[in-house]
Structure 1
Amino acid sequence: MSGRLIAIGDIHGCRVALEKLLEEIAPTADDIVVTLGDYVDRGPDSRGVIDVLVELGRRTRLVCLLGNHEEMMLAVIRDGEPHHSWLRYGGVETLDSYGFDGSLDFLPAEHEAFFDSLGDYFEHDGYFFTHAAYDPDEALDHQTSDMLRWYSLTEGLPAPHRSGKTAVVGHTANRDGEILDVGHLICIDTYCYGGGWLTAVDLGSREYWQVSEEGILRPNRTTS
């Protein structure tokens, strides 16, 4: 592969941070950029985040995964599921960003297409990517949605996956703003919306970039 393999952690409506992060990374058409889910909720501009990602997909090889927050949102607006849990965990901020006027038919067509395109996992070279976690004993195409999108690493770190590949995940917020790297698993949810950082990692060089919700860049470092 001539380009880089880059993963971006949970964005949660932090458009300013995402734009600054992409400015620093400067993705090219040869790069693969994998976003790990949770684009919406909690932060101030979920709609703006989706606009940025739609545009990014026109100029690089973008792979976007489905997070539990997208799952909650789509269950409400498409399947008529009760809205209480979604609103409690950040849905209000998402609705505000779309200028919610009482109708659940608020997604622009480009955004509908974006959410339709989201996958459960992605594999490339020696890595695989999911939103939350994985069952180490099951093939990726046999994983449950609970493991892929909802399992918290606070419940225990999974063992190395049977494939021997390194897992790259988000979902479990590292509130100290630091990446969790245990060798067979790297977690890059670093709590951007709550005062931490939005993190991206170049899996080839292990260089990573971090930007605050306000767009302040943290000095670049490498993972252990």
Structure 2
Amino acid sequence: MGAAAEQDAPLYVVGDVHGHLEELKAALRARDLIDEDAHWSGGRSRLWFLGDFTDRGPDGIGVVELAMSLARESAEAGGSTRMLLGNHEILLLGVFRFGDHPVPVAGGSTTFREIWLRNGGMQSDLERFTDEQADWLAGQPVAAVVDGHLLIHSDSNAYLEYGDTIEEVDGTVADILREPDPLSWWDLFRNLTRRGAFMGEVGPYAAADLLSELGGRRIVHGHTPIPYQTGEDPSTITGPRVYADGQAVNLDGGIYLGGPCLVARLPLTAPEPGVLPSALEETQGREYDLGDLAADAGDE
């Protein structure tokens, strides 16, 4: 399929799913991307997941299995299904590869397993996780530019620590995930837990800096639930949040908090929400329990 044909094909992006398989299926059906039996029905459409398939919800491995099957089925129909690695995929892979290997935190140490359990790890997911699924996840990128949208998982500039271009960032991360070095994996997980870079007065400048380095005209991310940014009741979230002077779009509806599974067609056509008071634009990093590591990991 040529570049022009790809530009013409509809582009959809999915926010954090966190194991909520049935909600994901319903959201994809509402966009006519899958049928009642959860098979691809989107034709030439392009579908991107922004990461965080697992943890905090009942069937993370079911989400992985669905994404893998849709990747095959959509390609056969002339479309595509892709995903970005989120920090929860990196953590799950770390548990799968290294288990109880010690990793450093301020004042001591912990393990991949302990941090995973603290942050919504589901033993049923780990028991069902296969080598094939692990290899597939480890082969996914962490960033992409599609139709002028810079797709990333975390609302963070930490990606620039791994390269100055999309190709360098994805290549560096791929190298880390090929090496049996638990400390490199741990640092990658910690860096991709960072959040809130595009909030507040300096947020638009941080967003512009990331776009100037990696490309694209607008950042599209997940990771930080919209209710954490706005103070809204999760049940009232109905769509993505545009902020940072229109340079950033948040697709994490806070599904594990009671919010929706957001599937948006890009470019967005809905009006952009107004700028919120700065007091509401403070994110506390409360989603992740890293013990004494929080400040060191850059969560806040």
Q: TM-score of the superposition, structure 1-length normalised?
A: 0.79
Judging by fraction of residues, say which structure has more strand.
1
Judging by fraction of residues, say which structure has more helix.
2
Q: Which residue of 2 aligns with 1:159?
A: 207
**Contact 1:14–1:44 under 8 Å retained in 2:** yes
**1:199 counterpart = 2:262:** yes
- Between the two proteins, what is the percent identity of the paired residues? 25
Q: What is the rounded CA distance, in whole Å, between the counterparts of 2:255 and 2:44 in structure 1?
A: 27
Q: What is the rounded CA distance, in whole Å, between the counterparts of 1:51 and 1:7 in structure 2?
A: 18
Q: What is the rounded CA distance, in whole Å, between the counterparts of 1:115 and 1:173 in structure 2?
A: 23
Q: What is the rounded CA distance, in whole Å, between the counterparts of 1:148 and 1:6 in structure 2?
A: 27
Q: What is the rounded CA distance, in whole Å, between the counterparts of 2:216 and 2:61 in structure 1?
A: 37
**1:4 counterpart = 2:4:** no
TM-aligned CA distance change 1:15 to 1:35, over 3 Å: same
The 5 A counterparts of 1:96-135 are: 96-97=124-125, 100=127, 106-135=128-157
Give SS of 2:53's match: coil
Q: What is the rounded CA distance, in whole Å, between the counterparts of 1:223 and 1:43 in structure 2?
A: 31
Which of 26, 29, 33 aligns to 2:47? It is: 33
Q: What is the rounded CA distance, in whole Å, between the counterparts of 1:223 and 1:85 in structure 2?
A: 39
Number of corresponding residues: 201
**1:150 counterpart = 2:193:** yes
**Contact 1:15–1:46 under 8 Å retained in 2:** yes
Q: What is the rounded CA distance, in whole Å, between the counterparts of 2:263 and 2:46 in structure 1?
A: 12
Give SS of 1:71's match: helix
How far off its partner does 1:113 sit?
3.8
Q: Which residue of 2 aligns with 1:70?
A: 89
Higher mean displacement: 135-144 or 180-189: 135-144
Q: What is the rounded CA distance, in whole Å, between the counterparts of 1:109 and 1:31 in structure 2?
A: 29
Higher mean displacement: 80-89 or 108-117: 108-117
Show structure 2 runs of 5+ residues with no match: 1-6, 34-41, 75-79, 102-110, 174-187, 273-300
How far off its partner does 1:73 sit?
1.2
Q: Which amino acid aligns with 1:66?
A: L
TM-aligned CA distance change 1:201 to 1:54, over 3 Å: same
How far off its partner does 1:164 sit?
4.9
Q: Which amino acid aligns with 1:12?
A: H
Compare CA radii of gyration and give the structure with the larger one: 2
Give SS of 2:90's match: helix
TM-aligned CA distance change 1:164 to 1:114, over 3 Å: closer
Q: TM-score of the superposition, structure 2-length normalised?
A: 0.60
**Contact 1:6–1:31 under 8 Å retained in 2:** yes
Q: What is the rounded CA distance, in whole Å, between the counterparts of 1:107 and 1:57 in structure 2?
A: 18
Q: What is the rounded CA distance, in whole Å, between the counterparts of 1:49 and 1:164 in structure 2?
A: 28
How far off its partner does 1:79 sit?
2.8
Alpha-carbon displacement from aligned partner over 1:23-65 (angstroms, at most 9, x marks no partner): 1112324111110010000011112111211121122211111
Q: CA RMSD in A?
A: 2.5
Q: Which residue of 2 aligns with 1:217?
A: none
Show structure 1 runs of 5+ residues with no match: 101-105, 208-221
